[in-house]
Amino acid sequence: MTIDIRLVGPERLEEFVQPILMAFGMSFSPERMARIRQLTEYDTRIAAFEGDAIVGTAGAYAMEMSTPGGGSVPTAGLTSVAVMPTHRRQGVLTALMRRHFDEARAHGQPIAALWASEGPIYQRFGYGLASFAGEVSIERERTRFADPSPVPMRARFVDEATALEVFPGIWERARAVVPGMSLRSPSWWSLRRLSDTEWSRAGAGPLNRVLIEVDGRPEGYALYRIRHQWERNMPIGTLVVSEAIGATPAGTRAVWRYLFDIDLMHRIEATHLPVDHPLFLLLADPRRLRYSAYDALWVRLIDVEAALASRAYGARDSIVLEIVDQHCPWNEGRYRLDGGERRASRTNDAPDLRLPVDALGSAYLGGISFARLAEVGRVEERAAGALSRADALFRSARGPWCPELF
C-alpha cells in the first residue's frame, strides 16, 4: 500500500468527510456540507490518499485563542481526524499528524488545540490535557442563590440579526479575561452559534436568543432550547442551555438568574461549563448542580518560543525549560523563559525543569500546575524550588475555558 498525504480543496469536501462520517456512524447531510463550506476558519484539509481514494483525514480551523493576561495566540484547531477502518494501524494517522504540524507551523500558528474523541491518541502526538469541563443538571426548585437579593436586569428576546450585532461584543469582553476562548468570525457566529437548524434541535424546541442588560448596558446573553414534557398534567420540561455568557460578574449572575427563573421548567441542563464556574459560589446549594467533569481542551505547542511569548506571566522571574519533542524536532532543546519580558529564547544553561512537550501544553493556559504534573511523573525538577517558581510564572486568575466543541 502506498499512501500519499496532500492538501485538498473544498471541491472534494464530500469525499473528505467520509472517514469522519464512517468513524461516528453519521449520514451525509448536504445542508451540513453547505454550512461547512461557508466557514472561513476551516482553511486546512489534509487527506491521506490510496490511489485517488481518500482513506484518512485531518482538518484544522484557523483560530485565535485567548491566553492568560489578556493575550491571544494563533491556533490550529484540529478537527475531522479519522482513518477508514480498512486502513487502521498502517501509519496513516501518524503521517496525517506530521503534516498537520507542518501546516500549522507554515501558517504561523504557535499552538494547536482540539477536543479529543479519545485522549490517549493525541497525547502520544504531543497534546496535553489543558482544561476540564463538565455538564450540570439541576432542578429549578434548587436554584436559589446564596445571596437572595434581587438581580436588576432587563432580558429580551432578539432575532438572529440583532444577536449577530450585539452578542460578539459581550463574548469578546468575556474572552479578554478567560484563557482558552476563541475569536469568532461572523460566519462562525452565524453558522455555528446563532442559526437554528432542525438537526441541531435534537428533539428540543427552537433556539431562543436572549440579551441580558444591566443598567441599560448589554452584559450577557443566553442561547437555549426547551424540551417540554408533561406528567399527570404537570409540566416537567427541561431547559437546555447551549451557551450562557456574562461579560462581567454582574452579567453572569443576571444571565443565570434569568435562566433559572423560566416558568414551567423542572430541570435546567448545560454542558461544557468550567470547573471554576461562578455558579458554584452563586448557588446556595451547589451540590445540586450534579456537576460531572470530563477532559475538555487539549493543547499542543507547535512553536515553543512563539507560544511562550503569546501569554502573560504571574511573576518577573526567569526559568530554564528543557523540552522533549519527538514529533516536532525543531522544538527540542532548552529555553530561558523571562516572565517580565514575556519572551523565551534558546539557551545552553542548565535546565530547571525537564519535560515533554505535552506536559508544557497542559500547563500553558494555567489550568494544570507543574507541581501536579511532577507528581504523576510528567515533569522532572532539576533545580530545587523550580516547580514552585514555574507555577508562579504560569498561574492564571481564571482557569481555561473553551465553551464549545470544534
pTM for this prediction: 0.94
Question: If you compute the radius of gyration of the chain from its CA atoms, what whole number of angstroms results?
Answer: 22
With bands split at pLDDT 50, 70 and 90, how would you rate the model's confidence at 31? confident
pLDDT of 73-123, one tens digit each? 999 999 999 999 999 999 999 999 999 999 999 999 999 999 999 999 999
Tell the CATH topology of 304-394: Nonspecific Lipid-transfer Protein; Chain A (3.30.1050)
**Confidence tier at 235 by pLDDT (50, 70, 90):** confident
Q: Beta strand pairing status for 353-356 and 343-346? A: unpaired
Positions annotated as catalytic residues are 122, 406
pLDDT category at 8 given cuts 50, 70, 90 is: very high
State the pLDDT at residue 181. Answer: 98
What is the tens place of the pLDDT at every residue in 271-312? 999 999 999 999 999 999 999 999 999 999 999 999 999 999
CATH match of 4-109 with 1.10.10.60: no
Contact 214, 253 (CB under 8 A): no
Q: Where are the domains of the chain?
A: 4-109, 134-294, 304-394
Same fold, 4-109 and 304-394: no
For 134-294, CATH number out of 3.40.50.10800, 2.40.50.140, 3.30.70.580, 3.40.630.30 equals 3.40.630.30
C-alpha cell belonging to residue 293:
467533569
All three cell numbers of 272: 461544557
**Residue 234, pLDDT score:** 80
pLDDT at 236: 84
